[in-house]
Amino acid sequence: MKVTLEDIKQKPMPKHIAVIMDGNGRWAKSRGLLRTAGHRMGVQALKNLVLALDELDIHYVTVYAFSTENWKRPADEVNTLMELIVEFLDKELDYMHEKGVRIHPIGDISRLTGKTYDKIVAAQEKTKDNTNIILNVALNYGGRQEIVRAAKNICADVQSGRLAMDDIDEALFGSYLYTAGQPDPDLLIRPSGELRVSNFLLWQIAYTEFWCTNILWPDFGKEHLWQAIWEYQNRDRRYGGLTK
């Protein structure tokens, strides 16, 4: 079934969409190009995603840009990825700011190279008051690392007397995560034919609906987003209970 914009506007939209931006390298290889060409096209796909979400009035999106495991890749590829972050912000930040996009990095960005780190922090500061779309960009991010970080910070607050053990529950734990104050993702989109979460938002996706596709990320367009949302809208989300 070909899904249209009018189809998905008939039902409630997801509040928060998460995306594992995967398949850039395979996209380039299939065309006889360098992997860097795939990453560059992947950046364009990200811009297109943000524009499509703006059209749908969806206010939260989290994209997996660089994991804690991605440091294992060849140094030249890692350097290219860092350069692409700088390039994207140089070219698109003013436009994103005009669109009301808030750039919110999640992960341990302190390990990023100096110029990349500076650009990310500057983008975060410039857009901090924007509320139209919260763009969580996972950089040097790992779901396990995030949970360990939260646990350590909670322990420190208990030791200092700012928290009592009995204060700790799921809501409080969530407030120590990078996505504190945001709704958990309703929908996780995984392109490239892979069927794993890859250490992404392990706490937050407890009841997230998954939509997987063989489409490689550089080829992902708004029609694929509409399809994912339409399938999400037609699922029965029971949260462990029974259908009413």
Q: What is the pLDDT of residue 229?
A: 98
pLDDT in tens, 155-200: 999 999 999 999 999 999 999 999 999 999 999 999 999 999 999 9
Domain interval for residue 127: 16-142+187-233
Cα four-point dihedral sign 51, 56, 57, 62: negative
pLDDT, position 113: 85
> Taking 90 as the threshold, does the pLDDT of residue 243 lie above it?
no
Residue 70 annotated in active site? yes
Catalytic residue among 48, 54, 70, 157: 70
pLDDT tier for residue 122 given thresholds of 50, 70 and 90: very high
Q: Is residue 28 part of a domain?
A: yes
Average of pLDDT values for 29-50?
95
Answer whether residue 89 is part of any domain.
yes
Is 71 exposed, middle or buried, given 0-12, 13-18 or 19+ CB atoms closer than 10 A?
exposed
Is residue 7 in a domain?
no
| Residues in contact with 157: Cβ distance below 8 Å, sequence separation at least 6, in sequence order | 163
CATH of the domain at 134: 3.40.1180.10
Confirm whether 54 is a catalytic residue: no
User: Alpha-carbon distance 244 to 232, whole Å?
Assistant: 18
Q: Model confidence at 203, in pLDDT bands (50, 70, 90)? A: very high
In-domain check, residue 172: no
Q: What share of the chain is helix, strand, coil (3-state, %, to 5)?
A: 50, 15, 35
Which of 22, 130, 140, 186 is the catalytic position? 22
Q: What pTM was computed for the model?
A: 0.95
Residue 45: burial class (beta carbons within 10 Å; 0-12, 13-18, 19+): buried
- Is the model more confident about 238 or about 12? 12
In a domain, 58, yes or no: yes
Angle at 184 between CA 167 and CA 137, to 5 degrees: 110
Number of domains in the chain: 1
Residue 87 has pLDDT above 80, yes or no: yes
Percent pLDDT > 70 in the chain is: 99
Q: How many angstroms separate the Cα of 100 from the Cα of each of 95, 130, 191?
A: 9, 5, 27
Question: Is there a domain that residue 239 lies in?
Answer: no
Yes or no: say if 41 and 216 are a contact pair by the CB < 8 Å rule. Answer: no
Does residue 171 lie within any of the structural domains? no
User: Taking all residues of the chain, what is their mean pLDDT, rounded to a whole number?
Assistant: 95
Confirm whether 153 is domain-assigned: no
Long-range own/partner contacts, residues 32-41 (CB < 8 A, 24 or more apart): 35/77, 35/80, 36/77, 36/80, 38/218, 39/77, 39/80, 39/81, 39/84, 40/84, 41/218
